[in-house]
Amino acid sequence: MTELLTPSLIAQALEMKESGVYVSDISKKLTEQTGKKITQISLWRIFNQTNANGAHKTAKEFKEPSRDEIELIFSKSLQKERNAGPTHRGTTIDRRVMLQILNNYHNKEFTYDQLRIDFNKWKNAEIIQNHFHYLTTYNFIIPTTNNKYVFSDRVKKWRSFGQI
Q: Let me know if 66 is exposed, middle or buried by CB neighbors in 10 A (0-12, 13-18, 19+).
A: middle
- Domain 67-160 architecture: Orthogonal Bundle (1.10)
**Within a 10 A sphere around the Cβ of 113, how many other Cβ atoms?**
9
Beta bridge pairs of residue 94:
84
Q: What residue segments make up the domains of the chain, in order of their start?
A: 2-62, 67-160
**Within a 10 A sphere around the Cβ of 56, how many other Cβ atoms?**
11
Q: What is the pLDDT along the chain (164 residues), one digit of tens a residue?
A: 445 567 778 878 887 887 778 888 888 988 888 888 888 888 888 877 765 544 443 444 456 777 777 887 887 777 677 778 788 888 888 888 888 899 889 889 999 988 888 887 766 788 888 889 889 888 889 888 888 999 988 888 888 776 55
